[in-house]
C-alpha cells in the first residue's frame, strides 16, 4: 500500500473517531478534571460544611468523632470507614458501606456522614451519588450504568488511545524538510490555519500524558483482564483476617485515639489515611496508611489491623511485601488521578482533562473548514464548466 492511500485511511479513522466519540471523550475529560479535587469541591458546595465551626480547626481527639457517627446513625450495626484529613484539620467524612436500606446488588453507594470535631456533631449526611462530586464520579467511572458502564468506559480509553496515535501518524512529517515546521505554529496565519495549528500542536505535546490517562483508565476499568496477568507474574500478598479476642467482662473497648497511637508507634513514618472501625465484639480496627515510596497518598497500599480491646497490632501487610507486578498495578490509580506527582501532578491531570475539549473544538472547526473549502472548490469547478 502506498503512503498516500495509507494516510487517507488514517485520516478517515481519526476523523470518524473524533466525530463519533469525541463528545464522549470530552465528557470523560471534563468529569475527570473535576474529580481531581472532588472532596474539597463537595465540601465547598455544601452550605452546612462551609458554615461548620471546625472547618479549619485542628483535630485533637478521634474517639468523639466515632461516637458522633454512632449517635447520628444509631441504627447502623456495622463499623464505619473514616477518612483522616491529610493535614489533621477540618471536618471528617466517614462512609457506611452497604447501608441496610439499599437493595442487594446496588452498585457502590455508601452512606456519607460528615462530622465537625469541634462540636462533636454530624453536619452533613448524603448517599454516594447525592453530591455533585460523587454523581460526577459515577458518571466518569460507570456512565451511571453500573458494571456495564464501567466496561464501556474501558473502551473509551482504548478509542482515545487509537485517536491519539492516529493523530500522531498524521502529524508525522513526510519529508526531512518539514520537521522544523511540524513542531511550531505558523505566525500571522489566517484563522483556519491557526485552528489547525492549535489542534495538531495541542495533540502533539499532550499525547504522551493523555495516553497515560487513557490507558490507566482502561486498566482500572478492566481488572478482570489485568488481575490474572498480575497474579501470574507475582500476586499481591493474601490479606489476613484477624479477629479480636473477647476480653474479660466489663473491659472497655479500645478508643480510636489509642488505636491510632498504637499504629503510629509501630510505624512512625506512616501517614494514616483511613480507618475501618470494628464490626462487633470480635471485630478489629483496620488502618490504611501511606509509607515512604507509596505512589498513592489517599488510597495507600499498606494495611494494619489492631485489636478492638487491647493496644496490639494483630497483623500488617506493607507495600514492601508486594511483588513487582502488584506494585506496578498499584501505580495505576495514582497515575490516573495525578497523585503520583504530588499536588503538581494533580493540577497537571486537571489541566489535561480540559484538553479533549480543546481538541474536539479545534478538530470540529478544522473539519468544517475543510468541508467548506471542498464545497467552494466544487462550486468553482462547476462554474468553470458552465462558462
In the numeric block, which cell numbers belong to residue 148?
A: 456495564
Is the distance from CB of 355 to CB of 344 less than 8 angstroms? no
Query: What pTM did the predictor assign?
Result: 0.91
DSSP 85: P
Report if residue 373 sits inside a domain: yes
pLDDT tens, position by position, 17-44: 999 999 999 999 999 999 999 999 999 9
Instruction: Determine the Cα–Cα distance for residues 4 and 21; give it in Å rounded to an integer.
Output: 26
Helix (H) or strand (E) holding 349: helix 342-386
166 — phi, psi (to 5°)? -65, -35
Query: Average pLDDT in the 153-176 region?
Result: 94
The band of 386, judged by pLDDT with boundaries at 50, 70 and 90, is low
36 — phi, psi (to 5°)? -55, -40
**Residue among 363, 303, 345 nearest 216 (CA):** 345
In the numeric block, which cell numbers belong to residue 112?
A: 456519607
pLDDT of res. 382: 74
Whether residues 286 and 210 share a domain: the answer is no
Whether residues 185 and 215 share a domain: the answer is yes
pLDDT tens, position by position, 322-378: 888 888 888 999 999 999 999 999 999 999 999 999 999 999 999 998 888 778 777
Cα angle, residue 127 at apex, residues 124 and 131 outer, rounded to 5°: 70
In the numeric block, which cell numbers belong to residue 347?
A: 493540577
Whether residues 225 and 248 share a domain: the answer is no
**Residue among 131, 152, 195, 179 nearest 27 (CA):** 152
pLDDT at 381 over 80: no
Whether residues 228 and 242 share a domain: the answer is no
Cα 32 → chain centroid: 7
Report if residue 114 sits inside a domain: yes
Number of domains in the chain: 3
Report if residue 47 sits inside a domain: no
Whether residues 243 and 105 share a domain: the answer is no
pLDDT of res. 106: 84
Is the distance from CB of 285 to CB of 292 less than 8 angstroms? no
Report if residue 273 sits inside a domain: yes
Whether residues 241 and 190 share a domain: the answer is no
Report if residue 252 sits inside a domain: yes
How many residues would you count in the chain? 387
Whether residues 225 and 276 share a domain: the answer is no
Last residue of a domain, one of 106, 130, 154: 130
pLDDT of res. 179: 87
Whether residues 102 and 124 share a domain: the answer is yes
Instruction: Determine the Cα–Cα distance for residues 209 and 68; give it in Å rounded to an integer.
Output: 43
Find the helix packing angle between 63-72 and 256-266, rounded to 10°. Answer: 140
Report if residue 372 sits inside a domain: yes
Whether residues 313 and 244 share a domain: the answer is yes
**Residue among 295, 291, 293, 301 nearest 334 (CA):** 295
Whether residues 72 and 217 share a domain: the answer is no
Q: Round the average pLDDT of the chain to a whole number and report it.
A: 93
Dihedral angle at the C-alpha atoms of 42, 43, 45, 49, nearest 10 degrees?
150
The range of the structural domain enclosing residue 86 comes to 53-130
Last residue of a domain, one of 102, 130, 158: 130
Is the distance from CB of 89 to CB of 124 less than 8 angstroms? no
pLDDT tens, position by position, 51-105: 999 889 999 999 999 999 999 999 999 999 999 999 999 999 999 999 999 888 8
Last residue of a domain, one of 321, 344, 378: 321
Whether residues 199 and 223 share a domain: the answer is yes
Cα 319 → chain centroid: 20
Report if residue 157 sits inside a domain: yes
The band of 1, judged by pLDDT with boundaries at 50, 70 and 90, is very low
Query: Average pLDDT in the 157-182 region?
Result: 92
Residue 297 contacts by C-beta under 8 Å, 6 or more apart in sequence?
Answer: 86, 271, 273, 290, 339
Whether residues 153 and 219 share a domain: the answer is yes
End-to-end CA distance of the chain: 39
Is the distance from CB of 260 to CB of 272 less than 8 angstroms? yes
Instruction: Determine the Cα–Cα distance for residues 81 and 315; give it in Å rounded to an integer.
Output: 18
Report if residue 28 sits inside a domain: no
C-beta neighbour count of 34 within 10 angstroms: 17
Amino acid at each position: 500500500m502506498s503512503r498516500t492511500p495509507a494516510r487517507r485511511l488514517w485520516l478517515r479513522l481519526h476523523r470518524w473517531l473524533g466525530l463519533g466519540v469525541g463528545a464522549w471523550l470530552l465528557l470523560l475529560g471534563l468529569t475527570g478534571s473535576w474529580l481531581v479535587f472532588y472532596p474539597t469541591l463537595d465540601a465547598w458546595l455544601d452550605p452546612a460544611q462551609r458554615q461548620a465551626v471546625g472547618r479549619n480547626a485542628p483535630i485533637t481527639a478521634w474517639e468523639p468523632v466515632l461516637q458522633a457517627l454512632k449517635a447520628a446513625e444509631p441504627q447502623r450495626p456495622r463499623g464505619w470507614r473514616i477518612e483522616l484529613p491529610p493535614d489533621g484539620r477540618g471536618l471528617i467524612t466517614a462512609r457506611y458501606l452497604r447501608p441496610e436500606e439499599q437493595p442487594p446488588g446496588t452498585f457502590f453507594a455508601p452512606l456519607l456522614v460528615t462530622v465537625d470535631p469541634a462540636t462533636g456533631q454530624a453536619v452533613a449526611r448524603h448517599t454516594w451519588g447525592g453530591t455533585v462530586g460523587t454523581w460526577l464520579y459515577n458518571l466518569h467511572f460507570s456512565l451511571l450504568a453500573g458494571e456495564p458502564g464501567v466496561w464501556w468506559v474501558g473502551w473509551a480509553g482504548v478509542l482515545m488511545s487509537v485517536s491519539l496515535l492516529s493523530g500522531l501518524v498524521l502529524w508525522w512529517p513526510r519529508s526531512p524538510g518539514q520537521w522544523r515546521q511540524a513542531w511550531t505554529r505558523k505566525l500571522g496565519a489566517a484563522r483556519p490555519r491557526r485552528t489547525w495549528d492549535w489542534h495538531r500542536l495541542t495533540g502533539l505535546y499532550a499525547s504522551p500524558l493523555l495516553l497515560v490517562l487513557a490507558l490507566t483508565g482502561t486498566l482500572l476499568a478492566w481488572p478482570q483482564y489485568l488481575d490474572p496477568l498480575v497474579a501470574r507474574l507475582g500476586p499481591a500478598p493474601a490479606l489476613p483476617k484477624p479477629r479480636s479476642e473477647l476480653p474479660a467482662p466489663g473491659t472497655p473497648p479500645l478508643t480510636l485515639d489509642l488505636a491510632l497511637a498504637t499504629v503510629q508507634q509501630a510505624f512512625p513514618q506512616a501517614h494514616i489515611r483511613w480507618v475501618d472501625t470494628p464490626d462487633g465484639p470480635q471485630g478489629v480496627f483496620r488502618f490504611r496508611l501511606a509509607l515512604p515510596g507509596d505512589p498513592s497518598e489517599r488510597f495507600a497500599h499498606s494495611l494494619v489491623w489492631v485489636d478492638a480491646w487491647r493496644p496490639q497490632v494483630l497483623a500488617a501487610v506493607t507495600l514492601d511485601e508486594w511483588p513487582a507486578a502488584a506494585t506496578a498495578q498499584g501505580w495505576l490509580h495514582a497515575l490516573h488521578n495525578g497523585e503520583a506527582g504530588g499536588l503538581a501532578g494533580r493540577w497537571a491531570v486537571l489541566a489535561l482533562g480540559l484538553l479533549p475539549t480543546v481538541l474536539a473544538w479545534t478538530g470540529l472547526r478544522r473539519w468544517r473548514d475543510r468541508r467548506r473549502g471542498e464545497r467552494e472548490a466544487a462550486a468553482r469547478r462547476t462554474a468553470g464548466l458552465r462558462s
